[in-house]
Structure 1
Amino acid sequence: MIKRNMLIWAVCLCLFSNACIVQGASQVDFSLKEDEAAISFFPLFDGEATLVQDGTNRVILINTGSKRSRKELAYWLDFYHIKQINQVIITKQSEKYNGNVDWVTKQYQVEELIVPKGSKELQTQHTTMWKTKDMYQLSKHIHVSVLYHEEENFPSMDFIVAFGKHQMLYMSSPASTIEQHLLMKPVRKIDLIKLANFGEGEPLSEPFLKQLNPQIGVLFSKENRTIHPDLASRLTDGWIELYDTNKRESLSIKMSPTIYDVMKFKKTT
């Protein structure tokens, strides 16, 4: 259940995608049980930020968006009732991914900052570098396996987040790189894909999408982006729902070990 915090829900419209648009909430507290988790994608104007929570009170923020999106980031962290963040994971050494990392680290008493191997920025005594083939247990039920990391130019990494039977592919690299490295692993079904590079560049191939068989693709927004013309059609042909943060709604997926619910939240101010 979602705790009604000061305001009750004004309306919840169920869509054909089994997602609900929830309006009229000032804050959301998922009140997660120990074997539950929630992943939320923030609709920032410029850049990426993804919140991961679980029932053991672990809070993980993947990327922080650009500095131009700081007010939006602060709004959504407050909306989800976040007071402290255990870990911040930066998937790419670039302003649109790490623009607010210093502010977040101080404001939310971050215990550990995780960056791709090769990162020359963001070095503190609490910084950990991840590299290809590394596996980590972030909480009792959340595990991450690093598929690939790039050390040249803009260090980056791609990984799979696993919770129970659910898996999320979090992309930063071009589609061809991801396909090459995933083909070398016995990857079971992926439920959700966070698409790379804001939808720019060649999208994942149709055969590869069919192999992974995801239900949802998430696309973050940036200023003046140019989405590849084949992206939407490839996802549609694979019966994959595309969620674009440019629509100014946050997307939350609340999970038990075997099932999940999808919700969208509109900004109230």
Structure 2
Amino acid sequence: MSRPFIILLIVCVLLDLGISNNRSYASKVESVDFDLSEGEAIMVFFSLSDGEATLIKDGTNHHILINTGSAASKEELYKWMNMFGIKKLDEVIITKQGAGFDDNLMDVINRFSPKHVYAPNGYQMKNDSSYEAWKEGKHHQYSEDISVRVLHNESTSTVSMDIIVTYGENRILYMTNNDSSIEKKLTKLPLSDTDVLKVANYGGGTTTSQPFLEKVDPQAAIIFETSINRINPDLLERLYEMWIDIHYVKQVGTVVMKMTKYQYEIISISESR
């Protein structure tokens, strides 16, 4: 598991940051430049009013977008993409078929011309566009340091998948499914060195459970915002009791995890809507 270190600098309009600890900071911005070297990357959890979307960008300018947010937050997504200087995408990954996850997929394809689109096995693509179906156990290596592995594929009800993203020694567990049986299944996997947990179902429902959190043992949790679900207060209590840093994008703004191959920092960037 990678370890965090001390924050060096924050500039409100243009950011050029070194690696630091996993405390979060907020600042209003117009553009963001992390000046990434070849051995660095960022994973950006966008603050959208509804739905979720996450950008991965490394020092070689490889750009990956995970999910596309809801239709209502499309312009917010594009505002953030522009703020981070994204003109083209290499890949788009969809982790769930449904509102808040893939609403803007076709528009993203038209606007950013990704080379590849990946989705769970069983996904129904709109407008007959092509994509690669990822089955459970699929491991995709994007570069020497960035990889994604499918831990669980759900096709019986809502088509979806739970994945783990790795950059060097940094591991981000990107949960989509809000189901106790899936959590029990995943606790049998070697996930104890997870650094950051992206919480499933916007923190609503009956999970994420205590046994699952104890097994994964993340240092930080990311919770996206939705216009429908409310965060389960029991989940917040569990996270607090385990001293897990909570980054709720509705409150702190867009969350940026900046990484070297061995360490990381988490920074929050607020932007008035």
Question: Given the two structures, how large is their TM-score scaled by the length of structure 1?
Answer: 0.90
Conservation of the 8 A alpha-carbon contact between 2:22 and 2:264: no
Which structure's residues are more often strand, by fraction? 1
Structure 1 match to 2:51: 47
Query: Using CA pairs below 8 Å that are at least 6 residues apart, which structure has the higher relative contact order?
Result: 2
Structure 1 match to 2:24: 19
Structure 1 match to 2:190: 186
Deviation (angstroms), 1:19: 2.1
Aligned residues: 263
Does residue 54 of structure 2 align to residue 31 of structure 1? no
Does residue 225 of structure 2 align to residue 224 of structure 1? no
RMSD: 2.4
Q: Which amino acid aligns with 1:53?
A: K
- In structure 2, what is the Cα distance between the partners aligned to 1:160 and 1:242? 19
Structure 1 match to 2:91: 87
Structure 2 match to 1:112: 116
C-alpha offsets along residues 96-140 of structure 1, whole Å, 9 cap, x if unaligned?
Answer: 100111111111111111110001234756411111111111222
C-alpha offsets along residues 125-157 of structure 1, whole Å, 9 cap, x if unaligned?
Answer: 641111111111122211111110111232000
Deviation (angstroms), 1:268: 5.0
- In structure 2, what is the Cα distance between the partners aligned to 1:180 and 1:57? 37
Aligned with 1:156 (options 155, 160, 165): 160
Compared CA separation, residues 17 and 4, structure 1 to 2 (3 A) = closer
- In structure 2, what is the Cα distance between the partners aligned to 1:227 and 1:45? 15
Compared CA separation, residues 248 and 216, structure 1 to 2 (3 A) = closer
- In structure 1, what is the Cα distance between the partners aligned to 2:94 and 2:114? 13
- In structure 1, what is the Cα distance between the partners aligned to 2:142 and 2:64? 9
Residue pairs, 1:125-204, within 5 angstroms: 126-204=130-208
Could you list the runs of 5+ residues in structure 1 that have no partner in the other structure?
none
- In structure 1, what is the Cα distance between the partners aligned to 2:138 and 2:100? 25
Residue pairs, 1:218-257, within 5 angstroms: 218-247=222-251, 249-257=253-261
Deviation (angstroms), 1:175: 4.4
Compared CA separation, residues 109 and 3, structure 1 to 2 (3 A) = farther
- In structure 2, what is the Cα distance between the partners aligned to 1:124 and 1:139? 29
Compared CA separation, residues 248 and 183, structure 1 to 2 (3 A) = closer
- In structure 2, what is the Cα distance between the partners aligned to 1:258 and 1:250? 23
Is 46-55 or 205-214 further displaced after alignment?
205-214
Question: Given the two structures, how large is their TM-score scaled by the length of structure 2?
Answer: 0.89
Deviation (angstroms), 1:2: 8.5
C-alpha offsets along residues 181-236 of structure 1, whole Å, 9 cap, x if unaligned?
Answer: 22332234111111111111112222331232211111111113222221100100
Structure 2 match to 1:67: 71
Conservation of the 8 A alpha-carbon contact between 1:91 and 1:157: yes
Conservation of the 8 A alpha-carbon contact between 2:14 and 2:33: no
Q: Which amino acid aligns with 2:94?
A: I
- In structure 1, what is the Cα distance between the partners aligned to 2:14 and 2:39? 26
Could you list the runs of 5+ residues in structure 2 that have no partner in the other structure?
1-7
Deviation (angstroms), 1:248: 6.0
Q: Which amino acid aligns with 1:18?
A: R
